[in-house]
Structure 1
Amino acid sequence: MQNLSAYWSPAELAVNGVILLHLVGALGLGILMGYERSFHGRAAGMRTYALVCLASTALTVVNAYPGLWYGGIGSGTGGGGDPTRVIQGIVTGIGFLGAGVIMREGFSIRGLSTAASIWTAAAIGVTIGLGFYAAAIGAALLVILVMSAFQRLEAVLPHHTVVQVMLVFERAHAPPAETIRAKALEHGYEIVSWAFHLRNGSGHLEYQLTLQANGTPDPMELIDKLAHTSRVVEFRLSPSRM
């Protein structure tokens, strides 16, 4: 029982409070950086940046207090061993695991927030393993808040929506680029990049467009318009963020 109480001693709790302040600060700055990316419709947004910043801070700040690792019973200079090598192995291994959940589907990238949450869970596990229970509990609550509430917050805040569109026309009936640009503008979208591909053998011309709009307009209205006014052979629409 004495060993267990060492994890909740006044000195341990004071350090846990300092670590938690670092984590809250990292979360706030990660949110600010992520909002800039979210505002421009990029795949990595507020949740991803916030979680990565929090996890990095957790793995860094716990190394400042080796005398209080394991409740002060086995410090980094004592008989408890050096956990920094274990931490390095964990970070490397979790990096591979996180990469496995990131998937590209057409033009869309999904799984970034899941990968960041896995890495953050590893950082919280390291914090618990070193005996900073209060800080780990606080970090877990912050992560739950980020994962459950920030997607809705990103949707409410001013932002840009980026959509990737592929349109395939019969070569002889492909509309000029200016016609497509005008139709996109009618529905609130600006074309920010173009790519063209003439398919060998089929005689089809493929347009790959990146559309950007303020807020979250309905892209299906634009697709409906193009599908009914032009000879569209095939189309694909993918949000850049999922």
Structure 2
Amino acid sequence: MDLASLPDFALPLLAAVLAGGLIGFEREWRGRAAGFRTHILVCLASCLLMEAAVSQGAWRFAALPGTEIVSDPTRMAHGVLTGIGFLCAGVIFRAGFSIHGLTTAASLWITAAIGLLLGAGLFELAATGTVLTVVILAALRLVSVRLPQQTIVDAAVVWRRDAPGAEEAVEAAIGEIGGSPGGDRYELLDGGESVRRTFRLRAVGDESLKALASRLRALEGVTGYRLDPRDD
């Protein structure tokens, strides 16, 4: 491979930058940890590595006499998709009982796959995958906004242990928006002076969460709470 062959590699690389940018823009717009630049770099790196794999005959090494070089680009694809798993794991985190970042990790994974397709010269398949990915991330998100929003919420409420009827009042407030009166976990805090109990419930829209927060603030004996909606 020499300088004369660089134009042949330019189109896949530019397409990788475009595809990664389109997918990363949606994640950047949502304020996710892996955004515009990260997706571009993932797609570009995958394309570069696949380009190198399909051009193995031009690598600078001397084959043994009487041997024949057989290129297997799929091995590079396996290595890239395995390695991208470590990057995807970095954007997944846990807050309480909620898991966040799964959609961003999936977008990084498919961005790497699109880069591999571009590096292999499968432009039509890569373009189709890019369009479908953007539609799934952006357009379907707009559709879901118009649907009744049922959000799984992990709630943690803290009240004074000596407050009469505090637990029953908290259960009643949780039950008003569909929460189960059964708690996932009990904890004693502040040397046994406070109790923290966690709940898992479904909320329809933001207004129900606001109403629950207002109700919890008004309960006598409640000293703190946390409402953690799940959102990827």
Judge same fold: TM > 0.5, yes or no: yes
Give the counterpart of 1:212 among 202, 206, 210.
202
**Partner residue in 2 for 1:190:** 179
Q: Equivalents in 1 of 2:202, 2:193: separation in Å?
A: 29
Give the counterpart of 2:163 among 157, 162, 173.
173
Maintained 8 Å contact 1:193/1:211: no
**Partner residue in 1 for 2:79:** 89
Deviation of 1:222 after TM superposition, in Å, equals 1.1
Q: Equivalents in 1 of 2:148, 2:194: separation in Å?
A: 38
What TM-score results when the alignment is normalised by the length of structure 2?
0.64
How many residue pairs match? The answer is 173
Give the counterpart of 1:122 among 106, 112, 126.
112
Change (3 A) 1:175 1:164: farther
SS at match of 2:162: helix
Residue type at the aligned position of 1:142: L
Superposition pairs of residues 85-164 of structure 1, within 5 angstroms = 85-164=75-154
Q: Equivalents in 1 of 2:90, 2:119: separation in Å?
A: 25
User: Percent identity over the alignment?
Assistant: 33
Maintained 8 Å contact 2:114/2:129: yes
SS at match of 1:218: helix
SS at match of 2:80: helix
Deviation of 1:205 after TM superposition, in Å, equals 0.9
Q: Equivalents in 1 of 2:159, 2:181: separation in Å?
A: 20
**Partner residue in 2 for 1:239:** 229
Q: Equivalents in 2 of 1:208, 1:174: separation in Å?
A: 19
Change (3 A) 1:159 1:193: farther
1:158-214: CA deviation from partner (whole Å, max 9, x where unpaired): 45221111111110005354432322333x232264022122615111111111134
- Aligned-CA RMSD value: 3.2
Residue type at the aligned position of 1:163: V
- Structure 1: tracts of 5 or more residues without a match: 5-68, 71-77
Kindly indicate whether structure 1 or structure 2 has the higher relative contact order, using CA contacts under 8 Å at least 6 residues apart.
1
- Structure 2: tracts of 5 or more residues without a match: 1-6, 9-52, 55-67
